[in-house]
Amino acid sequence: MAIENYKPDAYLEAVYQLDVKSLEKRGIELVLVDLDNTLIAWNNPDGTPEMHDWLQQLEKAGIQVCVLSNNHYKRVKRAVAPFGIDFINDAMKPFTKGIKKAFARYAVKPENTLLVGDQRMTDIRAAHRAGIRSVLVKPLLESDHWPTKFNRAREHFKVRALEKKYGKAIYQDKL
C-alpha cells in the first residue's frame, strides 16, 4: 500500500485554525470533522471558545460542517448536541461509507469536501479512498481510547516512512 495514502494535504495545530477565506478560496462547501481529539477533547465536552467561534464563522460563510465519527449514535448525538451541528455516526473510517453518506446528504462533490481529523490510519486514509482533501490536526489530548491507541502504534511506522520520503511534518497555525 502506498505511503501517500497516509499523507494529508495539510497539517494544522487545531481544527479551528481552518480559515474561512482559505476554505472559500479552495471551493470547500462541506467540512467533515472527526469528533474525539479533533473537534472536542473527551474531558472537555463543551469545547473551547475558539472552536465555538470557528463553527459560527463557518455557518455565517455558508460552509456546512458535519461530524464524521466511528462512534455509535448515542455517543455522537450527546457530544454534538450543544453545538447544533449535524453528524454521521458509525462512519467506518478508514472506509468511505460515512463520506459517501455525506455526499448524498449534502449534495456535494468530492472536490468541494474536506475531511479534518487527528489520525492517519482512519481519517486521512478515508479521505484518500474517497478522493477528498484532508487536514491532519494534532490530537487535543495525549490520552486515547484503546482502539485509538492501537491505531497510533500502527501509525508510528507510517509516520517514519513518510518522514523518510518527505521530511518531518510541519504543523501550521493557519490554513
Of 11-15, 34-38, 72-76, 150-154, least confident by mean pLDDT is 150-154
Per-residue CA distances from 94 to 81, 109, 123, 157 (Å): 25, 19, 6, 17
Residue with cell 473537534: 39
What pTM, to 2 d.p., does this model score? Answer: 0.88
Residues in the chain, how many? Answer: 175
Side by side, the strands of the sheet bearing 113-117 are 10-12, 133-137, 113-117, 30-33, 64-68, 86-88
> What pLDDT shows up at residue 14?
92
If you average pLDDT over residues 148-160, what whole number do you get? 64
> What pLDDT shows up at residue 159?
65
> What pLDDT shows up at residue 44?
77
Question: Does the pLDDT at position 151 exceed 80?
Answer: no
Cβ contacts of residue 84 below 8 Å, gap of 6+? Answer: none
Residue-wise DSSP of 105-141: HHT--GGGEEEEES-IIIIIHHHHHHT-EEEEE--S-
**Distance between alpha carbon 11 and the CA centroid of its chain, in Å?**
11
> What pLDDT shows up at residue 165?
79
102-129 pLDDT, tens digit per residue, is: 999 999 999 999 999 999 989 999 999 9
> What pLDDT shows up at residue 24?
96
> What pLDDT shows up at residue 174?
66
Question: Does the pLDDT at position 160 exceed 90?
Answer: no
Q: Parallel, antiparallel, or unpaired: how do β-strands 86-88 and 113-117 relate?
A: unpaired
At 63, is the secondary structure helix, strand, or coil? coil
CB 84 within 8 A of CB 101: no
- CA triplet 167, 172, 175: central angle to 5 degrees? 120
At 18, is the secondary structure helix, strand, or coil? coil
44-100 pLDDT, tens digit per residue, is: 778 888 999 999 999 999 999 999 999 999 999 999 998 999 999 999 999 999 999
In the chain the domains, ranked by start, together with CATH numbers, are 3-166 (3.40.50.1000)
